[in-house]
Amino acid sequence: MEIIVLRYGHRDVRDYRVTTHCALVSRALGANKIIICGEKDESVTKTVDDVTARWGGPFKVEWCDAWKPEVKRLKKKGFVIVHLTMYGLSVEEVTAKGSKLSKSKKVCAIIGSQKVERAVYEAADYNVGVAQQPHSEIAALAVFLDRIQQGKGLSKKFKGADRRIIPQERGKKVIGLKKSKAKKKK
């Protein structure tokens, strides 16, 4: 499954940290790209690109001024548009194994930052709620990505990484890749 995340309404400075979390979650949990709509902030791109350079990809950060042409373009390419909103249908149902959405080859997940205009609800093929309670677009995105990939998004293989974590009961173990010396931390 090819997944693109579209971040709606990013505001410079104010949203730096939350948008960066959104981008890192997109990358870590199996998306190939995040398109951020709003006031361009190269520091978000730099932070995420640095992570991708060290921990692997592929993952891209792109920016756009307006969401509508992006969604139109993605629809033309065959992407199913999923808008994550607490008012939507429950993620459990919509992403259940065997559901139409779970069988999609290409999915674009839209997450809001500032209040999302009504046209987004209309443009989406699915409006999907994670818990139908107010919480966090970062959390909604994470649960959606985990579920839509039937849990496989958590064990994605990354390419071009120069390091990898070896899971530990206690402490930290990171091995170096490519480089001759393995870097071990405890």
Q: Return the range that interacts with its own copies (CB under 8 A); candidates 3-11, 33-41, 107-115, 119-127.
A: 119-127
Choose, by CB under 8 A, the member of 1, 2, 11, 28 that binds its own copies: 28
Q: Does 159 bind its own copies (CB under 8 A)?
A: no
Q: Write the CB contacts of 42 (distance below 8 Å, at least 6 apart in sequence).
A: none
Instruction: State the Cα–Cα distance between residues 111 and 7, nearest whole angstrom.
Output: 5
What is the length of the chain?
186
Q: Does 143 bind its own copies (CB under 8 A)?
A: yes
Q: Does 132 bind its own copies (CB under 8 A)?
A: yes
CA angle 40, 133, 75 (to 5 degrees): 50
Q: Return the range that interacts with its own copies (CB under 8 A); candidates 4-12, 69-77, 89-97, 103-111.
A: 89-97
Query: What is the β-pairing status of strands 2-10 and 33-38?
Result: parallel
Choose, by CB under 8 A, the member of 31, 74, 82, 142 that binds its own copies: 142
Indicate the residue among 63 and 158 with the shorter CB distance to its own copies: 158
Alpha helices in the chain (DSSP H): 16-28, 42-55, 67-76, 91-94, 118-123, 137-148
What element of type H or E holds 3? strand 2-10
Binding site for its own copies (CB under 8 A): 17-18, 21-22, 24-25, 27-29, 51, 55, 85-92, 118, 121-122, 124, 126-127, 129-136, 138-143, 146-147, 151, 153-156, 158, 164-165, 167-174
